[in-house]
Amino acid sequence: MSSENPYASPRSDAPPVMMQAGVVRPTSPGPWRRRGTVVAARGMAFPDRCVKCNRPTGGQTLRRKLAWHPSWVFLFVFFGILIYFIVAVVLRKTMTVFPGICPAHRKRHRILLAVGLLCIFLSITVPILLGNFTGADWGLLVLSGVMATLFASVFTILATRFVSPAKIDDEYAWIKTTGLEFRQSLPEWPGE
């Protein structure tokens, strides 16, 4: 007796999709690639490969909470920083992802983080020490210390950013700053 069901739906190698209110949503396991980004569903596990170089990770991941808001929200900066922050917080979408990271990229990430934090520490302490021991102009030292701290902070944020969102909706995140090899190893996004 055959275990094949003659009344079963035909099978296909194409990833299954689900229609819901005219919107095509994939039901196959992801993540997927789409136009230079990686599309991941909320709560989805990433493959056990580095998102930068596609090498095996041995189960090593980074926890990243991604936040995104539409780019037109930046126009509220012209009305004031406080108004911008309020609108950005109200309209932002967040998602936590756990991308894989290989030992080489983990080491690079830690070194850049340590260098950035050291730069922030030095940009605060060096002007204070120079002011106390050399009698230099405090106004110039404070100004240079504030500028150096801002520069070091921006450097640390940008240098240690592992993945960043291009877009987040209620179900999916489109993640940029991933490696080409990793994206090419993923199936194409079957959604809209």
Do 117 and 52 have their domain in common?
no
Our measurement of the distance from residue 185's CA atom to the centroid of its chain's CA atoms, rounded to an integer in Å, reads 19
What range defines the domain where residue 31 resides? 19-99+163-192
Do 137 and 148 have their domain in common?
yes
Do 41 and 64 have their domain in common?
yes
Do 93 and 173 have their domain in common?
yes
**DSSP count for the chain of H helices, then E strands:** 4, 8
Q: Is 83 helix (H, G, I), strand (E, B) or coil?
A: helix
Provide the residue-wise pLDDT of the chain in tens; the chain has 192 residues.
Answer: 556 766 655 554 444 444 344 444 445 567 898 888 999 888 888 888 898 898 988 888 888 888 999 989 999 999 999 999 999 999 999 998 888 889 998 899 899 889 988 988 888 888 888 777 777 777 788 888 888 888 888 888 888 888 889 999 888 999 988 888 998 888 888 876
Q: How many domains does the chain have?
A: 2
Contacts of 55 (CB under 8 A, 6+ apart): 49, 102, 104
Q: Is residue 124 part of a domain?
A: yes
Instruction: Give this prediction's pTM.
Output: 0.69
